[in-house]
Amino acid sequence: MSHAQRLRQTIEDEIVDGVLRPGDRLDEVPLAARFGVSRTPIREALLQLAVTGLIEIKPRRGAVVSLPEPARLIEMFETMAELEAACGRLAARRLTDEHQRELTAALDACRAAAAAGEMAAYYAENAVFHAVIYRASRNGFLCEQAVGLSRRLAPFRRIQLRARNRLRQSLAEHEGAVEAILAGDESLAGERLRAHVLVQGDRFAELIRGLPGGSAAA
C-alpha cells in the first residue's frame, strides 16, 4: 500500500467516524505536517477521496468534506446491485478453473476473517471477493464499471458491516452467491448478488445512521 493509499484510508476513517464532518476543510499543508509527509501524497489521497464523493475539491476553497445525499446514495447502491448481478450471471456462465480457484480462496479468506471477528480484515477480503467475481465475468468493460462504482461505494459498504450481525450475514450471502456461480445457475447467482448489495429498509436506515450527523437524518 502506497503512502497516498494509507493516508486516504486514515482520512476516510475519520470522515466515516465523524471526526471530520461535512463542511470541514482539508488543507494540504496542515495535513502534510500532521502526517510528516510532503504535500504530494496528501494531494493524491485527496484526489482518491474525491472519487468516492467523501470530499469535494472546490476552486479557491480546496478540499471540503462532503457526503452524498441519501437519495443519491440509494441510487448508487441500486446501480451497483445491477452491475454485481450482471457480473454474477456471466461468472456462472463463463467460470474458468482459474477463476473458480480464486473465488473459493477469496471465500475462505472471508470466512477466516469473519471467524476471527476482524471487521477490518473482512472488509479487505470482501473487496477481493467481489473483484474476483468481476473478473470472472470475463467482460472487461463491465468489470471496469463495477470496479469504479465499487470504489466510490467502498466507505459506505464498510459502514454497513458495523450493524449487528451484518458481518455474519454478509458471509452467508457470499457463500450463497458462490454456490450459485459454481453450480452454473446464472439466474440465482444474479439474484443473490443483487440482494447482497442492494440497501433498503432497515439496512439503509443503519447506513444513514452510521454517517456523520446521520442520527438526525434517519
Q: In what order do the strands lie in the sheet with 62-65?
A: 25-26, 62-65, 55-58
Query: Does position 40 have pLDDT exceeding 60, yes or no?
Result: yes
Q: Please tell me the distance from the alpha carbon of residue 77 to that of residue 79, in angstroms, as a whole number.
A: 5
Q: Are residues 49 and 109 in the same domain?
A: no
Q: What is the pLDDT of residues 49-95, one digit of tens each?
A: 988 888 999 887 789 998 788 888 889 999 999 999 999 999 999 99
Same domain, 17 and 77: no
In this predicted model, what pLDDT tens digit does every residue of 83-135 receive, in sequence order? 999 999 999 999 999 999 999 999 999 999 999 988 889 988 999 999 999 99
Same domain, 123 and 177: yes
**Containing structural domain, residue 43:** 3-65
Collect contacts of 102-110 with beta carbons under 8 A, ≥24 apart. Answer: 102/132, 102/135, 102/136, 103/129, 103/132, 103/133, 103/136, 103/178, 103/181, 103/182, 104/178, 106/132, 107/174, 107/175, 107/178, 110/171, 110/174
pLDDT in tens, 158-173: 777 777 788 899 999 9
Whole-structure pTM value: 0.81
- Is the domain of 120 the same as that of 12? no
- 207 Cβ partners below 8 Å, 6+ apart? 73, 156, 159, 160, 199
Task: Answer yes or no: do 31 and 80 share one domain.
Answer: no
Domains in the chain, number? 2
Do 95 and 187 lie in one domain? The reply is yes
Binning pLDDT at 50, 70 and 90, where does residue 213 land? low
* Whether residue 149 sits in one domain with residue 43: no
**Residue 7 sits in the same domain as residue 111:** no
